């Protein structure tokens, strides 16, 4: 059985993060604070011996990945499928703008981790379930074929939270993921089982969670 250690990493802070502006697919670079955060994450991840890093192709993610990869010259593969959820018309908006124009209930549905809210999208945006499908399909496709045992994945806050809640449905309260924070899990390619490690193991009961891939014949959630 082939096991992969997977490190899910959120990008470092941008000026828009500090201003609490929704970024979505807008391509914002790391701020000086974000660069420092990525450097600290790189120090913490050094012992992980990453063989490869998959990254969103947006600057804030690729810059974070490059900082993590620098010392060991770890190769990086970028993909647009790892981008943040496309938030449509609210790109560049702040929280108060959303509440004022679209209502508090809209914001609550965006932040919800309930399965029935995965089909939510902002006007002209992408559903969380669509973003989950594109990112997870890309991640699983790579993990199932790579010889690397330790893999880093650098992407974005909402898509990372959506993914982790999907893989580990015992996570009931929405994960609060800070900039440049990472979580570790183990993926067994032969039977497609995910097991929480590190901080996730502390949050969850240490219990493996089976997951059916997109091309599996197993029954999938109705929103998939």
The set of catalytic residues is 11, 84
Cα–Cα distance measured from residue 64 to residue 80, given in angstroms and rounded to the nearest whole number: 16
Q: For residues 88 and 110, is the Cβ–Cβ distance under 8 A? A: no
Q: For residues 205 and 221, is the Cβ–Cβ distance under 8 A? A: no
The DSSP code sequence of 77-116 is: EEEGGGSPPP-GGGTT-BHHHHHHHH-HHHHHHHH--SGG
Angle at 186 between CA 9 and CA 75, to 5 degrees: 50
């Amino acid at each position: 059985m082939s096991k992969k250690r997977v490190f899910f990493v959120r990008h470092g802070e941008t000026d828009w993060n500090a201003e609490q502006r929704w970024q979505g697919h807008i391509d914002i670079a790391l701020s000086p604070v974000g660069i420092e955060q990525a450097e600290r994450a790189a120090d913490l991840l050094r012992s992980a011996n990453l063989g490869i890093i998959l990254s969103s192709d947006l600057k804030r993610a690729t810059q974070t990945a490059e900082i993590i990869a620098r010392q060991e010259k770890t190769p990086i593969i970028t993909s647009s499928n790892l981008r943040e959820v496309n938030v449509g018309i609210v790109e560049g908006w702040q929280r108060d703008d959303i509440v004022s124009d679209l209502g508090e209930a809209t914001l609550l549905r965006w932040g919800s981790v309930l399965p029935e809210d995965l089909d939510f999208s902002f006007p002209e945006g992408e559903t969380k379930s669509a973003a989950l499908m594109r990112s997870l399909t890309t991640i699983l496709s790579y993990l199932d074929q790579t010889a690397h045992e330790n893999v880093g994945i650098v992407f974005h806050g909402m898509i990372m939270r959506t993914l982790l809640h999907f893989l580990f449905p015992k996570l009931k309260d929405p994960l609060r993921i800070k900039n440049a924070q990472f979580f570790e899990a183990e993926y067994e390619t032969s039977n497609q089982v995910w097991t929480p490690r590190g901080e996730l193991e502390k949050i969850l009961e240490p219990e493996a969670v089976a997951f059916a891939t997109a091309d599996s014949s197993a029954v999938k959630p109705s929103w998939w």
